[in-house]
Amino acid sequence: MRSTAVVTGGAGFIGSHMVDLLLDRQYAVRVIDNLVGGREANLAHHANNPALTVSRRDIRGIEAGDPLFDGVDYVFHFAGIGDIVPSIEKPLAYMSTNVQGTVHMLECARRTGVRKFVYAASSSCYGLAATPTREDHPIAPQYPYALSKYQGEQAAFHWHAVYRLPVNSIRIFNAYGTRSRTSGAYGAVFGVFLKQTLAGRPLTVVGDGTQTRDFVYVTDVANAFLAAAETDIAGQMWNVGAGAPQPVNRLVELLGGAVVHLPKRPGEPDCTHADISRIRRDLGWRPRVSFDEGVRRIVAEIDYWRDAPLWDAESIAKATAGWFEALSTMRNG
């Protein structure tokens, strides 16, 4: 008999790759996505698969006992607001979706009696962290997005402690890959650079480009989530990164083209570097897609970003003005 999984945010970046993996493993999959950040096109290649159903709903409007959760074995919870910069200006939306939305999903899972609930957490909870960063590093969120994702994780583990809901959490470092977000918000470096490459415009590099990020390819992330679901372990959190930070300048080199340098932003680390020894030990997971190979896969599908917004130094400065004001005050306060 097929196992059944709910994937919240299943039309989004990581969620749609999770759907791919689950269907490939012969799961029946129920996607919940309000299509604010997700795209129907991300699931179009499964249009005729009877094992997949898609429900266009907001997680905050789904209550315990909803038929979507009948007979569900696993819940993979990716739904939420992922753009970092706008969280400074719209903190209520982030808290509502990323915290209260998570609680709605936890209650649905608890009442159903799922075998595992896997929460998509963020490495941003560590703040300006020592590297390589272990799971027991002190928590220090620097902006509302990071806080909201950490509070969602705390809620998940609270449901594990109080209600015995089997929960695991994956703290994702810098995920990248095909189908990443093309929303109007200024955000992750890949989407910004890819649109600029398509338009023949200079790449807007923050600082001098020597800052490093622990880029982990999206299919490796999906495999980590599946391992976290199928294990007998519950109540655990794991970092997921490649464990091999790459300088932004390496991405610039792979994409090619001219460069414009922007002021470094407060509250952003010089390096993100996941210590992944725990997930290697507990789940036998390891990253399989090299950075160069991952970028090659993205460039092969670069037309996906053709409709993404085109950012330049002036529009970025305007979009991040609130960020500079708020986090500069936080540093000096």
Burial class (CB in 10 A: 0-12, 13-18, 19+), 251: buried
Nearest to 178 by CA among 282, 264, 294, 261: 294
End-to-end Cα separation, the chain, in angstroms? 58
Residue 209 has what DSSP assignment? S
User: Which amino acid is located at 294 in the chain?
Assistant: G
Q: What is the rounded CA–CA span in Å between residue 139 and residue 249?
A: 28
User: Beta strand pairing status for 203-206 and 215-217?
Assistant: unpaired
Query: Is 150 annotated as catalytic?
Result: no
Residue 219: which H helix or E strand, with range? helix 218-230
CA separation (Å) from 243 to 91, 127, 213?
31, 17, 10
Contact by Cβ (8 Å): 271, 212: yes
CA separation (Å) from 41 to 11, 13, 33, 223, 267?
8, 11, 13, 22, 35
Q: Cβ of 234: how many Cβ atoms within 10 Å? A: 15
Q: What is the rounded CA–CA span in Å between residue 216 and residue 241?
A: 5
Contact by Cβ (8 Å): 10, 78: yes
Active-site hit among 143, 145, 150, 186: 145
- Active-site residue numbers? 145
